[in-house]
Amino acid sequence: MAEIDAYNEALSTGQYEKPGGLLGKYDNVRRFWEDEQLGVYLRPYLERLVDRKKACREGLRVLDLGCGSGDGYEFLTSIHSSRAPLAEHDSAIIRPDLLELYKGVDVNEGLLRQAQAVYRDQPKLAFTLSDINTHDIVSEQPYDLYLANYGTLSHNTDEQTLALLNNIARHGEKGALVVIDWVGRFSYEWQTLWTDDFDNNRCIDYAISYIYAGDEKKRDELTYFPLRLMGRLEAEGICRQVRKETGGAIALRKLADRSSFVGRHMDTAQYNRHCQPLRRLVNSLFEPNVCTNLDELIVRYVPAGGFDEVNAYHQRLADCWNHLVLSTMALMEKDTPPEAPMVIPGVTPRVFNTMKKVVKLAAGMREGNPRASLVEPQLGCCLRELEAGLQKGLGCGHGLAAIFEIVK
């Protein structure tokens, strides 16, 4: 029948595929927590960079090292300006007319083919098959932003990372930014691997097992590979070494943790049996028309002996997280919220007051599902804001974001 043929044609385009909000690479936590949070960390530096480029009437040049399927372009162009009025419908800091070139470099040919297929109609985007450590950066015109996020440099040895940053620092121009997102050393996901012996315990034996949730047989057949874990002291040490070798040409502007308690291996409990499936639950918070069992969101943090500063951060986040969840539940049930375990000026009062207003607004709605459409997504945003306000950049999240600036 013609109708069947028509629908089969539509299916073949891939446009009929269901979105992967609850599972997969582009789940809700990736889109609405991880990318959003990294964008918040980067935003003030990116705004200053863009202001300078506009003042000089120059376009922005971006080099994405380990670009994969071009996710860095989507990430950068989705960061919203802090100055944009609420009525502004196009508030992106980087707009298409500002971009001179986005160049992605990756060693994976399959991912590059995917990127080229997605962005084939955008002439300002280019993709190159190359190892990021042997790519000839110095022969190209300098870039304004060097991007190596999603754990790219955790695939490197320290010697490779130092050589790469040395090349960038020497060749890049003053004011250029370097954005890195390493895998965090002290993530609760792999608490069993915590150590102070950084020289002899640099890597985790890692597998992408979260893709096969519930399929234990498949997980046992997966390929494992080393990923460099990074904490604050180690990142600062790398920066000092690059500064020494380049005459102070680079400065570390920010270190920040990303995805504490919501990293992908929270759900597998593969490296820490105490982990709870909190990523799945936060994915559910952001999912349209889905209600979450908030009782399961309560964090039961189990400390590890000998790591006082790290344990203190995780426990403080767990206490504030739990209080926010319990308070939201009490407000929905019209009970008195529990007494706060602590107050962090500028962080906890703001998110708790936000949830009070949202629950009150939702209580007055008579159509749809206000809990699923309003209360739970806002709770997810407030939990994300809580983490961003409490983090210390110790390497306690799934990712440790580092923002460098070339200062020569």
| Average pLDDT score over residue span 15-34 | 79
How wide is the angle at C-alpha 39 spanned by C-alphas 230 and 144, nearest 5°? Answer: 85
pLDDT digits 0-9 by tens, 336-366: 888 877 777 788 889 999 999 999 999 999 8
| Average pLDDT score over residue span 380-403 | 97
Structure tokens at 227: 């990923």
Strands 145-148 and 250-258 come out as unpaired
**Confidence class of residue 14 from pLDDT cuts 50, 70 and 90?**
low
Flag whether pLDDT at 371 surpasses 90. Answer: yes
**pLDDT at 343 (0 to 100):** 72
Which run of H or E residues covers position 125?
A: strand 125-129
**pLDDT at 352 (0 to 100):** 93
pLDDT digits 0-9 by tens, 113-124: 999 999 999 999
Least confident of 206-215, 251-260, 398-407: 206-215
Query: Which residue bears the tokens 């270190």?
Result: 255
**Confidence class of residue 380 from pLDDT cuts 50, 70 and 90?**
very high
Mean residue pLDDT of the chain comes to 92
Length of the chain: 408
**pLDDT at 67 (0 to 100):** 95
Flag whether pLDDT at 13 surpasses 70. Answer: no
Residues 6 or more apart in contact with residue 181 via CB below 8 angstroms: 38, 148, 149, 150, 151, 152, 258, 399, 400, 401, 402
**pLDDT at 137 (0 to 100):** 93
What are the Cα distances from residue 388, in Å, to 227, 275, 283, 319, 347?
A: 24, 21, 18, 15, 9
**pLDDT at 11 (0 to 100):** 46
Query: Which residue bears the tokens 């070139």?
Result: 101
Q: Would you call 282 helix, strand, or coil by DSSP?
A: helix
Task: Give the closest residue to 382 by CA, choosing from 406, 408, 347, 407.
Answer: 347
CA 153 to chain centre: 14
Flag whether pLDDT at 223 surpasses 90. Answer: no
**pLDDT at 23 (0 to 100):** 81
Structure tokens at 367: 């159509």
Q: Would you call 43 helix, strand, or coil by DSSP?
A: helix
Start-to-end CA distance of the chain, whole Å, equals 68
**pLDDT at 213 (0 to 100):** 62
**Confidence class of residue 239 from pLDDT cuts 50, 70 and 90?**
very high
Q: Are 107 and 152 in contact (CB under 8 A)?
A: no
pLDDT digits 0-9 by tens, 32-49: 999 999 999 999 999 999
Residue ranges, comma separated, of all CATH 3.40.50.150 domains in the chain are: 23-267+396-406
Q: Side chain identity at 35, as an amino acid letter?
A: D
| Average pLDDT score over residue span 317-330 | 96
Q: Are 41 and 403 in contact (CB under 8 A)?
A: yes
127 has which bridge partners?
A: 104
Flag whether pLDDT at 10 surpasses 60. Answer: no
Flag whether pLDDT at 232 surpasses 60. Answer: yes
Structure tokens at 265: 């291996």
DSSP result, 61-88: EEEEET-TTTHHHHHHTTPBPTT--TT-
DSSP result, 231-279: -HHHHHHHHHHHHHHHTS-EEEEEEEEE-SS-SGGGTT-SS-TT---HH
What are the Cα distances from residue 55, in Å, to 92, 260, 290?
A: 18, 38, 46
Give the rounded percent of residues in the chain with a pLDDT score beyond 70. 93
pLDDT digits 0-9 by tens, 162-194: 999 999 999 999 999 999 999 999 999 999 999
Which run of H or E residues covers position 105?
A: strand 99-106
Distance between CA atoms of 356 and 213, rounded to whole angstroms? 35
CA 232 to chain centre: 17
**Who has greater pLDDT, 279 or 5?**
279
Task: Give the closest residue to 302 by CA, choosing from 338, 265, 270, 261.
Answer: 261
**pLDDT at 249 (0 to 100):** 97
DSSP letter for 92, please.
B
**Who has greater pLDDT, 207 or 293?**
293
Flag whether pLDDT at 9 surpasses 60. Answer: no
Q: Are 353 and 327 in contact (CB under 8 A)?
A: no
| Average pLDDT score over residue span 93-106 | 95
**Who has greater pLDDT, 8 or 45?**
45
**pLDDT at 214 (0 to 100):** 60
According to CATH, the topology of domain 23-267+396-406 is: Rossmann fold (3.40.50)
Q: Are 245 and 387 in contact (CB under 8 A)?
A: no
Structure tokens at 356: 């009070």
Flag whether pLDDT at 276 surpasses 60. Answer: yes
CA 356 to chain centre: 27
| Average pLDDT score over residue span 132-153 | 95
DSSP letter for 203, please.
E
Which run of H or E residues covers position 229?
A: strand 225-230
